[in-house]
Structures are given as structure tokens and as C-alpha cells.
Amino acid sequence: QVQLVESGGGSVQSGGSLRLSCAVSGATFTDYAIGWYRQAPGKEREEVAHLETDGSTSYSESVKGRFTLTQDNDKNVVYLQIDNLKPEDTAMYYCAARRGNEYETSQPGGYYFWGQGTQVTVTS
């Protein structure tokens, strides 16, 4: 069973930075696609970034240029560096995982392993 644990959230002022971590256990995480999602109160869960099994990354237009995915293969950790935070970035942030050829169609992005989330709060 793959386990995902997010950390690194907190409360920061607009323009500040955070680095979120997604620690993956129970699998070689390079065999999995990793997605980062966020969900604000009253909003649908939204993908902000993902890492494909080939190492490629992509970002939503709302965060592109401010969010950066990196990985530490030795530690099985995926990082989401967030710079120039804005109040609209306030949300619970989740990481998720799936194999590239496997999907859970009832879940966002087809991901079937999810962490418990880490809260990001941006104040003005």
C-alpha cells in the first residue's frame, strides 16, 4: 500500500514562500505519477501541478511561474516550492499518486492514493 504524507504548510504573508513536501512510502515513487491538488472552502479540488513517470512536470495557469516541482529520488520525496504566494493560494494542499496506466475514474486526475493534506494560509 502506497502511503503519502504532506508537510510544510503554514501561514505566510502575501509574497512569501513555502516548500511543501510529499513523502512517499510503499513504492518506488518514480513508477508513479504524482499530482498536487488544492481545495479551498466551497471550491472543487483543483490540480496545481503534476509530475509524470517520465519526470516531466506541468502546472496550472494560475500557478505557473510561481510553483515548482522537484524530487529527491533517494528519499522518495516530492517537493512543491511555492513562491510569491497570494491570498487566493489559501487552501488545503494534497499530493496524490497513481501508476501511469492505472486510473480511479471517480477521483480527480484518476489518482487513487491520497495524502491527508497540509494547510496553506496566505495573509495580506
pLDDT one-digit tens code per residue, 22-81: 999 998 778 899 999 999 999 999 999 999 999 999 999 999 999 999 999 889 999 999
CA atoms within 13 A on the CB side of 81: 7
Provide the 3-class DSSP secondary structure of residue 29. helix
* pLDDT attached to residue 9: 98
User: Residue 3 and residue 85: Cα distance in Å, rounded?
Assistant: 28
User: Residue 6 and residue 21: Cα distance in Å, rounded?
Assistant: 5
Provide the 3-class DSSP secondary structure of residue 30. helix
* pLDDT attached to residue 102: 87
Among residues 123, 97, 88, which one has the least CA distance to residue 32? 97
End-to-end CA distance of the chain: 40
- Across 3-31, average pLDDT: 94
